[in-house]
Amino acid sequence: MASAAVKKRRIQGLLFISPWLIGFLAFTLYPFISSIYYSMTAYDVISPPEFIGLENYVNMAEDPLVRKALYNTFYYAVFAIPLSTIWGICVALLLNLKVRGMTLYRTLFYIPSIVPVVASSMVWLWLLNPQYGIINGLIYLFFNHPGPGWFADPKLSKMSLVFMSLWGIGQTALIYLASLQDVPESLYESADLDGATTLQKVIHITVPMISPVILFNVIMGLIGTFQYFTQAYIMTGGGPADSTLFYALYLYNNAFNFFKMGYASAMAWLMFLVIFVMTALTFKASSRFVYYGGETR
């Protein structure tokens, strides 16, 4: 039996964490559980939910916009995650050099990642404007040829968003930079004695030694791409021709524009399942490539 003093400390501990517990129960656990029920109902917020079983999931399988949204999201993930990973590592390697003014360079690369997404989206709308944008102006100046339509062209709209995402790579590069500090110098010294080139040292020493951090950033990027919403909502609204209708944006439209909360809840659970499966497959595939202190995972 616990003593009175132990019970008192236990109660005090629960009281101290009660704000977090209340917030978790009210804003995380309850919505999580209730969404399971709502996903099997026809619910428009105004009227009481009507239980319809798995009809929402059947409708999703027949909805061409769900397939389009999934395609757009996977397309973005396939290009954005590898490019951001490679670009982040390259920036981190540059920021790891011992040159004068490196603190300033690190700050300049990190600043874009702390700019609010809404503000940066408005800036990029201006930069990539087909008529008076700076980027198209430079293209015309150097090549004497009008620039593309960027967000106005269905063939370029998704790649334009991928290109824009590379601008805010500072936070990822900072994580890679921190991991580079832990790579033993003795490995590079041994490689120098063997006559290894800079590229060989990066491929055979740097990348394997920071592979756990690469895995972390890939997983976080994978989760983030399937929740990609703000930029598409502000800059394109899903257009043109639904070319930037990402899954999270279509889910939002169903929930708050069409008031199909039951359908949106079912879409949310499909998103959860897709993210879970993709994360599990990534972990499984990483077992051959991720290096942990002398052992592959």
- CA quadruple 50, 55, 61, 65: dihedral sign: negative
Count Cα atoms within 13 angstroms, Cβ side, for 245.
Answer: 17
Instruction: Work out the end-to-end distance of the chain between its first and last CA atoms, rounded to an integer number of angstroms.
Output: 44
DSSP β-bridge partners for residue 292: 295
Per-residue pLDDT of the chain (297 residues; tens, 9 = 90+): 567 888 888 888 889 999 999 999 999 999 999 999 999 999 988 899 999 999 999 999 999 999 999 999 999 999 999 999 999 999 999 999 888 888 899 999 899 888 999 999 999 999 998 888 899 999 988 988 888 889 988 999 999 999 999 988 888 999 999 999 889 989 999 999 989 998 999 999 999 999 999 999 999 999 999 999 999 999 999 989 999 999 999 999 999 999 999 999 999 999 999 999 999 999 898 888 888 765 544
What domains does the chain contain, in order, with CATH numbers?
A: 1-30 (no CATH), 58-296 (1.10.3720.10)
* Whole-structure pTM value: 0.89
